[in-house]
Structure 1
Amino acid sequence: MSPNGFRRITPWLRQLTLRLATLVLVLGVVFATVAVLPGGGAGAVLGRDATPDRIAAYESAHGMDRPLPLRFWSWLTGLLGGDLGTSLRGTAINEMLATKFPNTLLLGGTALALTTIAAITVGAWWFLRPKGVARLLDPITTSAVAVPEFVVATMLVFVFALGLGWLPAATVTDATGTPDVASLVLPVLALAIPQSAWNIRVTRAALGEAASLPHVHAAELDGLPPRHILIRHVLPVAAPTIAASLATSVGMLLGGTLVVESVFNYPGLGSVLAGSVTDRDPAVVAAVVALAGTAITGVLLAADLVRAWSLRGQL
């Protein structure tokens, strides 16, 4: 590799190492926090009538009597090998997540796609028609950003499920446990509305800032059409800011997904996480966090790629 190529890839390796180290640190904190919750995992699983001897035997059988750092290290090494371990109820965590994570990924991914489309199209429309559109979009997006996902979900259920009867209030699945299309509409909207509003505002601001650059003014003086200027001269400059905002929304969407799933009785990671916290099962909680953290890390790296692409002429 040439010295110039090495200099280009070094920041990427540094960013990746830092993010992976942060993820491991977060996993350690989550694992320890759940493990020290009052009640203990054995008592939560066995119930209130369990005797001390039975609890002690259960903890010994599941390695819960080992020091916490050793338990976390054992789980982490298994994670690196693709084995997430076994829950306190004896179920393989890989199997638990294999049936639930695709549904959560479907819900969050669809909401992210809708958010991205809304941010770019509506943000660009706002940029091209700033005067009349601003009177409509400014208050709407401001209000939508301020409303939490579970409030949006409740309002959608009240209007479209209970009021109009157009869509189901609870998720309907097929024989394989996959939600049908109608059941996805309200949960996706509940997630996408607040994040779309935020990203529309970010996109509009990023486009406006990019439009003030000298080369954009030169394109305007040359008489180029506004849409051509937007696509060829403004959007590439604004792309890193838009990508970073959308990448940030991934974390918000994943967190909101776990809440929205409970509102619509959606068969995703939300139910797994709720049950594992009730059972005081640190391995399952950490596994859910690991999946979410890996997804967020991947999207952040994609945002870095967009930034590198937009600045390729300056490197």
Structure 2
Amino acid sequence: FKWVGGILHGDLGESLSSSPGAPRFVADIISSRLRNTFLLASVTALIAVPLSIVLGVLCALYRGTAFDRVVNGISLTTISIPEFLIAYILLIFVAVRLRWLPTLSNVKDGMDVADWVWRMTLPVLVLTIGIIAHMMRMTRSAIIGVLSSPYIHMAKCKGASPARVILRHALPNAWAPIANVVAVNLAYLVVGVVVVETVFVYPGIGQTMVDAVRTRDLPLVQACALIFASAYILLNLVADIIAISTNPKLLHPR
């Protein structure tokens, strides 16, 4: 109860790795690391969310074609492969053999933007591959489900083009399941950075938690777990709010 009361005042406790004469507060340790993690997750989301929605719309628009089969096959493959395995495969081929990108993403304050982006590229790529398949497949399924509605048939009878039918009529009515899966994947993105940050030694909250577990620094582990749980709950709450606001049946039950 003392620890919970301290959280309400912004006090997350004192790290057990502190020396007697120079205490290290948990809030000071995780402040910069938390910024790095949210930067990594934000860049990944800005790339993965629009790309997955575009791919899902295209797969629904060209359902049954070679493009649809190829994209679905690739998405099933990426879903089946663990995230850490994708990270090590890209490390071997992209970083070690081709030497296009660095093996370590040891970013730090004072770096210029180009160097920062260059070192973040590989972790962002791994995280994007890990979450894009789920969002793309849900977007495709939601739009295909809406396409069987009577108002879609009416729009087709009026001569609307397939692209207009999907973008103007189907997509706005499929936002609820799409928003849910996007929010869930973003929540997973915040929590799932632990593996990626550990593989690439990225100085984020995930790497901090792994180091704290290794040194048995319980206050630091508790703070990291609290951050992950809060982000997961908040993003799921946002998903529910979006689902209600985009669904007239839920917004106006009568």
TM-score (norm 2): 0.89
Look up the match of 2:118: 182
Query: Quick check: 1:172–1:180 contact (8 Å CA) kept in 2?
Result: no
Counterpart CA distance in 2 for 1:89 and 1:162 is 35
Map of 1:47-196 to 2, 5 A cutoff? Answer: 73-90=1-18, 91-132=24-65, 133-176=67-110, 180-196=116-132
| 4+ aligned runs moved over 6 Å, structure 1 | none
The residue type paired with residue 171 of structure 1 is S
The residue type paired with residue 247 of structure 2 is L
Query: Quick check: 2:41–2:190 contact (8 Å CA) kept in 1?
Result: yes
* Higher mean C-alpha deviation, range 143-152 or range 274-283: 274-283
Residue 195 of structure 1 and its aligned partner are, at CA, apart by 1.0
Counterpart CA distance in 2 for 1:100 and 1:214 is 51
Query: Quick check: 1:273–1:285 contact (8 Å CA) kept in 2?
Result: yes
Residue 275 of structure 1 and its aligned partner are, at CA, apart by 2.1
Look up the match of 1:257: 193
Look up the match of 1:228: 164
Runs of at least 5 residues in structure 1 that lack an aligned partner in the other structure = 1-72
Look up the match of 2:175: 239
Residue 176 of structure 1 and its aligned partner are, at CA, apart by 3.8
* Higher mean C-alpha deviation, range 170-179 or range 130-139: 170-179
Counterpart CA distance in 2 for 1:124 and 1:298 is 27
Residue 84 of structure 1 and its aligned partner are, at CA, apart by 0.8
Counterpart CA distance in 1 for 2:206 and 2:233 is 20
CA deviation map 1:250-309 (0-9, x unaligned): 232223211111111111112211122123233211211111222222222221232122
CA deviation map 1:195-250 (0-9, x unaligned): 10121111111110111111111111111122222122111221110111111112
The residue type paired with residue 118 of structure 1 is L
RMSD of Structure 2 on Structure 1 (CA): 1.8
Identify the match of residue 227 of structure 2 among 286, 291, 312: 291
Query: Quick check: 1:100–1:268 contact (8 Å CA) kept in 2?
Result: yes
**1:174–1:267 distance in 2 versus 1, CA, 3 Å:** closer
Query: Quick check: 1:177–1:267 contact (8 Å CA) kept in 2?
Result: no
**1:160–1:111 distance in 2 versus 1, CA, 3 Å:** same
Runs of at least 5 residues in structure 2 that lack an aligned partner in the other structure = 19-23
Larger Rg: 1
Counterpart CA distance in 1 for 2:183 and 2:197 is 21
Query: Quick check: 1:187–1:260 contact (8 Å CA) kept in 2?
Result: yes
Residue 120 of structure 1: SS of its match in structure 2?
helix
Residue 151 of structure 1 and its aligned partner are, at CA, apart by 0.7
Counterpart CA distance in 1 for 2:10 and 2:106 is 31
Residue 174 of structure 1 and its aligned partner are, at CA, apart by 4.3
The residue type paired with residue 107 of structure 2 is T
Counterpart CA distance in 1 for 2:46 and 2:95 is 24
Map of 1:298-309 to 2, 5 A cutoff? Answer: 298-309=234-245
Verify: 1:276 aligned to 2:212, yes or no: yes
Counterpart CA distance in 2 for 1:278 and 1:174 is 22
Identity %: 30
Counterpart CA distance in 2 for 1:177 and 1:74 is 39
Query: Quick check: 1:257–1:270 contact (8 Å CA) kept in 2?
Result: yes
Residue 131 of structure 1: SS of its match in structure 2?
coil
Query: Quick check: 2:40–2:124 contact (8 Å CA) kept in 1?
Result: yes
Residue 76 of structure 1 and its aligned partner are, at CA, apart by 0.9
TM-score (norm 1): 0.73
The residue type paired with residue 87 of structure 1 is S
Query: Quick check: 1:85–1:93 contact (8 Å CA) kept in 2?
Result: yes
